[in-house]
Amino acid sequence: MEAVDDIKIGQVVRSKAGRDKGRFFIVVAVDGGRVYLADGDLRRVETPKKKNIKHIQVTNHVVESIAKKIEQGKNLSNKEFRRELQSLGYWGDGTLENKGKREVDA
């Protein structure tokens, strides 16, 4: 299990439990033993998913552009989240491909 201190804002994580199991998200906030996640599709920036850290698997990828905007308090778009996840190959339901999910505009 990951320690809360090891999880960074902007980090890509994979859900290990719940109805979103297998999906990839980006961490938008860390609060105690929980993280807030968004992917720009199922979980939008306006309503991030609150998830226990024992129910996520951390990847080595940190999306610096999103992390920097969150730290500066700038507005984020759902399109940015979808685009970043797709560019890293993490778009969709954990199979590293988009299976009927919202297409990312170029």
Tell me: pLDDT of 23 over 70. yes
Tell me: pLDDT of 54 over 60. yes
Q: Domain boundaries in the chain?
A: 4-87
Residue 96 has a pLDDT of 47
Tell me: pLDDT of 71 over 70. yes
Mean predicted confidence (pLDDT) in 27-53: 94
pLDDT bin (cut points 50, 70, 90) of residue 98 is very low
Pinpoint the alpha helices (H) of 1-106. Answer: 64-72, 78-87
Residue 79 has a pLDDT of 95
- Is CATH 1.10.10.10 the classification given to domain 4-87? no
- Name the residue type at position 15: S
Residue 56 has a pLDDT of 96
| Paired tokens of 8 | 């960074």
Say whether pTM exceeds 0.85: no
pLDDT bin (cut points 50, 70, 90) of residue 106 is very low
Helix H, strand E, coil C: the string for 73-101 is CCCCCHHHHHHHHHHCCCCCCCCCCCCCC
Task: Give the Cα separation of 102 and 2 in Å (integer).
Answer: 30
